[in-house]
A and B are shown apart, each in its own frame.
Chain A
Amino acid sequence: AQSVTQPDIHITVSEGASLELRCNYSYGATPYLFWYVQSPGQGLQLLLKYFSGDTLVQGIKGFEAEFKRSQSSFNLRKPSVHWSDAAEYFCAVGAQATGANNLFFGTGTRLTVIP
């Protein structure tokens, strides 16, 4: 069965510093992987997704994520964090097209950005 672990419940970084949010997944085959962000009062917004090909995926808002099969990881990175990046970040895994049409999410990581 698919599952996602986000080991960090809460991370605080200074504005301008680099960021890495961890995500580990469990899935028997090649997964579809996603990062979503939820800003206060907003819905879950897709930042980026990995399906195949280049293991380094570029997303919106300057984020990127790298799929590492050997480590079962899909960590999210940003070289320089902005105050507006403060939000909740969710990693998710989806099954390949075998009939399952839902996503498995992690518990989320809350990002606080300090000036």
Chain B
Amino acid sequence: EPEVTQTPSHQVTQMGQEVILRCVPISNHLYFYWYRQILGQKVEFLVSFYNNEISEKSEIFDDQFSVERPDGSNFTLKIRSTKLEDSAMYFCASSQLDRMSAEDTEAFFGQGTRLTVV
């Protein structure tokens, strides 16, 4: 069964450092997403991406965040200068159609990257 893979599974970084979280979406999917879950809180939408552009972003996704599809397979989330409050589980997802929520499509999620900022 196809799957979304994320690396690394756990990353520890010092406050102020840049981090890049990597995701390999399912190969024939065209729409990509990042979500995060701060411990004990809800899974929150960060950004969606299609055709090398951001489609939507939440208010969480400020100038410290950026996304990129550097090649044909990877989809990355960069946090430019990490803060303690960026510590969370980050989930990548992909879907074939332009809706996460649609009757005839399904978004597939990766296993997550746990980011710890110290």
Closest residue of A by beta carbon distance from B44: A105
Q: Given the known A-B contacts A43-B109, A106-B42, are A101 and B4 also in contact in the complex, defined by CB atoms under 8 Å?
A: no
Asked if B111 and A107 make an inter-chain contact with CB atoms under 8 angstroms apart, the answer reads no
A21 to B19, CA, bound (A): 36
Q: How large is the interface on B (under 10, 10 to 19, 20 to 34, 35 or more residues)?
A: 20 to 34
Min CB distance, B29 to chain A, in Å?
14
Contact of B91 with A by CB under 8 A? yes
Closest residue of chain A to B99, judged by CB?
A101
1/0 contact trace for A33-64 toward B, CB 8 Å? 01010000111111001011000000000000
The answer to whether B102 and A97 have CB atoms under 8 Å apart is yes
Interface residue from A4, A34, A44, A106 paired with B101 (Cβ < 8 Å):
A34
Residue from A4, A100, A108 within 8 A of B56 (CB atoms): A100
Instruction: Report whether A32 and B111 are in contact in the complex, using a CB–CB cutoff of 8 Å.
Output: no
B48-91 CB contacts (< 8 Å) to partner A:
48, 55-56, 58, 91
Cβ distance A54 to chain B, nearest Cβ, rounded Å? 13
- A107: which of B31, B41, B58 is its contact (CB, 8 Å)? B41
Say what secondary structure dominates the interface of chain B.
Answer: loop
The reply to whether A102 and B102 form a contact with Cβ atoms under 8 Å apart is no
**A96–B100 Cα gap in the complex (Å)?**
10
Partner of B45, one of A45, A46, A49, A103: A103
- In the assembled complex, which residues on chain A have CB atoms less than 8 Å from the CB atom of B3? 43
Chain B's nearest CB lies how many Å from the CB of A32? 4
Residues A101 and B100 in contact in the complex (CB < 8 Å), given A43-B4, A106-B42: yes
- Identify A45's interface contact among B44, B99, B109, CB under 8 A: B109
A36 to B102, CA, bound (A): 15
7 residue pairs of the A-B complex, CB under 8 angstroms, read A43-B112, A52-B103, A101-B31, A101-B55, A102-B48, A104-B42, A107-B40
